[in-house]
Structure formats: C-alpha cells, structure tokens
Amino acid sequence: MTILVTGAAGFIGFHLCRRLVELGYNVAALDSFNNYYDTSLKDARAARLDLEYGVFVKKMDIADPDAMKSALRDSGAEVVVHLAAQAGVRYSIEQPFTYERSNLQGHLSVLEACRHAQKIKHLIYASSSSVYGERPASGFAFREDDPVDAPVSLYAATKRAGELMSYTYAHLYQIPQTGLRFFTVYGPWGRPDMAYFSFTRRILRGEPIELYGEGQMQRDFTYIDDVVSGVIKIIDCPPAAGKQRVLNIGASNPRSLQNFVDIIERNCAREAVRVIRSMQPGDVTATWADVSRLRALVDYTPSTTLEEGLEKFVDWYRSFYDDTGAIR
C-alpha cells in the first residue's frame, strides 16, 4: 500500500516516513520547505530520507489545490497522513496570515484532493493539544469530549477549524478521517523553535534560558518514537465511511518546565542560567492527555520516559551540531 505523507521533511513526518519504509509501505512525500526555521535541518532530513530510505520529498505547497490533487492522484495512495502545517503558538501572533494559508487553505486543499481521488481509505491529520485552550487546574487529563470552543491562540483556532472542516468532508463525501491531537512532541531531529531544542543549545553555549510562566507550566512531553508508533497503529484502524473522530496522542504524564530543565542540565553536564518570566500571550498553563480512547482502539502504550527521551535528544544534538550550533 502507498501512503502519502505531507510535511515529510518536518520533524514528525521525517520519522514517520522512515518507519513506514521499514515496515514495507510505499511512501510518497511532500513538503514546502518553508523558512519558519532553519531550512538546512529540513534539507538534511530530506537528504537522509532519499539516500537511506529511497523516499524523495517533492517540494510543493499543499495550499495549491491543483498541485495537491495532482500529487495525490499521481501517487496512487490509498491512505494520506497530513502533517504539513504552520506550527508555533507565538509565531501565529506575529504572522497570522501564514496560518490562514497553511492551516486553513492547506487543510481544505488536502480534503478536496481526497474527495476527488475517491479511493482514500483513511485520512489521518495532525491536530494539536492547543485546541483545549487554557484549562483551570482540575486534576484531570484532557479528554476528547472536553469543550474546545475557547482557543487562546490563532494557531489553536486554525487546528480546531481543521477538525470541523474534516467533520464536514467526512459527512458529505464519506471520507474516513482521524484527527490526532499531538501533545508536545520531542526527540532527535526535532524543531529548533521548541523549548527543549533551544534550551539545549543555549545551555551548551553557556547562555541564559528564559522560563515563562514562572517556570511552573506543565507539558505532556511525548517522545517521537511513541508518537510514530501510535500513528502507524491507527493507519489500519479507520472509522466507518462518513465518520470522523479526534484522538489524543501523548505520554499522559505532565511534567513541570523546571523539572524538564533539570533533566536537560544533567545530560548537558552544565547548569543553566535561568531567567524567570511571566506567561506569554497564547500560552497555556498545562497540558495533559487522556489517551484511553487511543489505547482502547490500538493498544497505544507510550514507553519512553522523559529522562530517556531527553538523553537521546541531547546525544543526537551533540552529534549533529558543533559547539557553535552549526551542522557538522
């Protein structure tokens, strides 16, 4: 079976493509290679996919509906894993129209391509834990049936809009769909805009790091291998035709930002210079995934602890970058 992956030169897409090839799937790969972060990292991921896995990542903007239709038709794919999106909560405040094109027009373009392909067995797409918004401290994990009508960032709003568009297309055109609400994915080959990446870089350089929310924010940090495992398991478990569902995918073990930095310090063998800041616009106090629905469907069981995952990331970072932060 052929699977089309959008955002294939991105963090999750790169790891997913590698694992799909290892499992014997044919993979068609698309990415826009935009410059939201250093494109040399995307280029390196794409080169690794091409040289080691035989997957060529075609440069294409998924928000171009004609190009997207052609790419899906030419691939012959029966399953689409749509990961391409403009990421970043804070960047959505600075560049809102980028999110309109990538996350709204882009998502709609993928839906239209699937509609016209007429043989798509399953469309899996990336949503986000951000759709839950700011939650009061309740002692309970986020469930898929919790209210999601109060996003606190434009990024979150576009991800929720994608879920609603998918519901409509599933209903109108009988396209089985699964939206995965990812919870703070981290690991080797990760995104430089993420906290664990920038903290590691700055600690190794002896530069101060900024801890927002007075360092008390909590995140459900989820290791990349556990995420990829969940995505692959759900591929062969589509909902019925005409149905769309959303599922949490996370570690279900929130940790504080201070504890997070403690672990990075130990792996870097250096102490961080911590600068405490207040909350930034668009941020939320905590995230925590209830994964009982995904576990019931496909026996999803994340197995990588934060300590293990951050050790693997720091080891990768030191092998990939030199002391100045340049790629080796």
The catalytic residue positions are 155
Distance CA 190, CA 172 (A): 37
CB burial of residue 112 (10 Å; 0-12, 13-18, 19+): middle
Contact 111, 169 (CB under 8 A): yes
**Single-letter code of the amino acid located at 202:** R
* Cα distances (Å, whole numbers) of residue 307 to 263, 275, 296, 300, 302: 6, 23, 27, 20, 14
Extract the runs of DSSP E, i.e. beta strands, from 32-131.
Answer: 57-59, 79-82, 122-128
300-305 contacts, C-beta under 8 A, 24 or more apart: 300/229, 300/230, 300/233, 300/249, 302/222, 302/223, 302/226, 302/230, 302/250, 302/251, 302/252, 303/226, 304/223, 304/225, 304/226, 304/251
